[in-house]
Structure 1
Amino acid sequence: MHALTEAGCIWISADKKSGKNADHEALWKALDYLREGDTLFVPSLDRLGRSIQDLIAIVSGPRKRGVGFTSLHEALDTTTPGGRLVFHVFAALAEFIRELIVQSTNEGLDAARDRGARLGRPPAITEEQVRHARDLITRPGNTVTSIAKLLGVSRNTIYKYVPELKGGRVALAEATAAAELPRPAKSAE
């Protein structure tokens, strides 16, 4: 915002959404606000779009209406032929850099998985706590709320980790009994 104000922008529109999505309400309002002879200023190309197609589409629409485009960080001004050429080169480089970041992130995640690292959010409760919750819920007088309070989790967590509860206590008792039945030995043929 400071850079745009310093550049002399009269009207500033800002989105809180990621530049990855081209569906920005504030951007479309800004583009609608622009008239022939106006110039659209952005702090940098990556704030406007994440792909060459997005950037070119966003910039070319107003250009057809006589609206210029300036990116402060890259010092681009598409009101000149040289500026348009540099814009296309910078847009290609911005997309290339983004793809490199995504690729290296995915490679890092794959390497972590190969090392056996657990990725993502840790489980809310342990397997032992799930067994304890199953045991407690089969006893009369215990409620999901009381068990959740005892384990220090929400009711939704109990329902998530003990999905049989959605069918009621009878379904839970049947599922627990079926899990505890001895399995027949495999015959050697």
Structure 2
Amino acid sequence: MITGYARVSTDEQATAAQLDALSSGGCERVFEERASGGRWDRPELHRMLDQIRQGDVVVVWKLDRLSRSLKDLLSIMEKIDAAGAGFRSLTEAIDTTTPAGRMMMQMVGVFAEFEREIIRERTHAGLARARKKGRYPGRKPKLSDDQRQEIRDMVRSGKRTEAEAARIFGVHRSTISRVMREALSDPIT
């Protein structure tokens, strides 16, 4: 079955041009949606992905109708491929039912992976620079080193239970358990 997917972002926009193109492209059934392409919670998209089967072809007017995010686009393409279905974009002339189309999508995937690696490298470099400057990004610890030591001492001595220490310091009991586990793995405390 040839299945189409048409999407516009706002109520003011119309899917008429997409629907005409999908009809001309041989679509037997079309899932139509009004939602941002950057959102993952699109019910018609998920309904379509749930209903495609081996040998089906999913057709869109343009790639950006399927998703605005390259990461999400590749995720959707993986779901289509896992179902044994093909994919075709009418405007970009991408057709994964052909060897050239599969190669094109693999190249898109390679560029996306490269982009993720570059972002990861930049993130690690930025964190390293921040640490050199004495800044540690992320959430501030709920307990100071002195408070952690005080908790260890009171729980080890039996003066307080972990639950009582959690109430005293205004933290969750799992935080106290983590402090005690760290104390076991770090023999100098």
TM-score, normalized by length of structure 2?
0.51
Q: In proportion to residue count, which structure has more strand?
A: 2
- 1:34 aligned partner: 53
Shift of 1:151: 0.8
Shift of 1:160: 1.7
Paired AA for residue 67 in structure 2? P
Unaligned runs of 5+ in 1: 18-25, 167-174, 180-189
Tell me, yes or no, if the aligned pair for 2:6 and 2:32 is still in contact at 8 Å. Answer: no
Shift of 1:35: 5.2
Q: Which moved more, 1:40-49 or 1:153-162?
A: 40-49
More contact order relative to length (CA 8 Å, sep ≥ 6): 2
- Matched position secondary structure for 1:10: strand
- Matched position secondary structure for 1:162: helix
- Matched position secondary structure for 2:71: helix
Q: Which moved more, 1:99-108 or 1:75-84?
A: 75-84
Paired AA for residue 43 in structure 1? S
Inter-partner Cα distance in structure 2 for 1:131 and 1:81:
64
- 2:87 aligned partner: 69
Change (3 A) 1:49 1:71: same
Change (3 A) 1:147 1:115: same
Tell me the alpha carbon deviations over residues 155-185 of structure 1, each in whole angstroms, 9 at most, x when there is no partner: 222222133998xxxxxxxx9xx97xxxxxx
Change (3 A) 1:121 1:2: farther
Shift of 1:36: 4.0
How do 1:22-171 residues align onto structure 2 when only pairs under 5 Å count?
30=49, 33-34=52-53, 36=55, 38-39=57-58, 41=60, 42-43=66-67, 45-49=70-74, 59=81, 62=84, 67-70=85-88, 75-78=92-95, 86-137=104-155, 142-163=160-181
Percent identity (aligned) = 25
- 2:31 aligned partner: 10
